[in-house]
Amino acid sequence: MSTPLSFMQSFYALTKSNPMLSGAIGIWIGGILTWALRSVPNQLGRTIFKACTSTIMLNNSTSEFEREFKEFNIWVKDKTLLALSREFFFKGDYGLEEGILVPGYGTHFFFYKKRFFWVVNSRLASTGTEKEKMESVIYCLTRSKKVMEDLTKAFRWRYAKDLSYVHTNEGYNFAAAVGAPKRPLSTIVTRDTTKEDIVKLIEEFYASESWYRLRGIPYKLVILLYGVPGTGKTSLIKSIAGHFDRSVYAVNLNTCSDTMFPKLMTMAYGGIVAIEDFDSCPATHKNGAQVKIPAVHNPDSDAITTYDPYGKESVRSLFDDGVSLTTILNTLDGVQELNRTVIFLTTNRKEIIADNILRDGRCDHQFEILPLDDEAIRRYIDLVFPGCVVPEGAVFEDCPGSTLQAKFMKHRNDPAAFIGELVTKGST
C-alpha distances (whole Å) from 376 to each of 32, 295, 370, 371, 413 are 89, 44, 11, 9, 21
Write down the pLDDT at residue 305.
Answer: 34
Question: How many other C-beta atoms are found inside a 10 Å radius of the C-beta of residue 272?
Answer: 24
Which comes out higher in pLDDT, residue 338 or 296?
Answer: 338
Percent above pLDDT 90 for the chain: 32
Write down the pLDDT at residue 308.
Answer: 40
Write down the pLDDT at residue 27.
Answer: 63
User: CA 7 to CA 88: how far, in whole Å?
Assistant: 65
Average pLDDT over all residues of the chain:
80
Residue 149 confidence (pLDDT) above 50? yes
In tens, the pLDDT along 190-230 reads 998 999 999 999 999 999 999 998 998 889 999 999 999 99
Q: If DSSP codes are grouped into helix, strand and coil, which group holds residue 402? A: helix
Write down the pLDDT at residue 342.
Answer: 95
Question: Cβ distance 75 to 94 under 8 Å?
Answer: no
User: CA 292 to CA 50: how far, in whole Å?
Assistant: 52
Question: Cβ distance 123 to 132 under 8 Å?
Answer: yes
Lowest mean pLDDT among 42-46, 117-121, 345-349, 421-425: 42-46
**Where are the chain's structural domains?**
17-52, 54-155, 163-368, 374-422
pTM: 0.68
Residue 290 pLDDT grade (very low, low, confident, very high; cuts 50, 70, 90): very low
Percent above pLDDT 70 for the chain: 75
Q: What are phi and psi of 392, to 5 degrees?
A: -60, 135
Residue 178 pLDDT grade (very low, low, confident, very high; cuts 50, 70, 90): confident
Residue 187 confidence (pLDDT) above 90? yes
Report the b/e string of 140-171 with b at 16+ CB within 10 A.
beeeeeebbeebeeebeeeeeeeebbbbbbeb
Q: What are phi and psi of 127, to 5 degrees?
A: -60, 130
Q: If DSSP codes are grouped into helix, strand and coil, which group holds residue 71? A: helix
Nearest to 400 by CA among 187, 190, 226: 190
Residue 267 pLDDT grade (very low, low, confident, very high; cuts 50, 70, 90): confident
User: CA 56 to CA 43: how far, in whole Å?
Assistant: 22
Nearest to 237 by CA among 249, 229, 254, 228: 249
Question: Cβ distance 293 to 282 under 8 Å?
Answer: yes
The DSSP letter of residue 38 is H
Lowest mean pLDDT among 66-70, 241-245, 248-252, 329-333: 66-70
CATH code for residues 163-368: 3.40.50.300
Residue 276 pLDDT grade (very low, low, confident, very high; cuts 50, 70, 90): very high
Residue 26 confidence (pLDDT) above 60? no
In tens, the pLDDT along 298-310 reads 333 333 333 343 3
Residue 381 pLDDT grade (very low, low, confident, very high; cuts 50, 70, 90): very high
Which comes out higher in pLDDT, residue 213 or 297?
Answer: 213
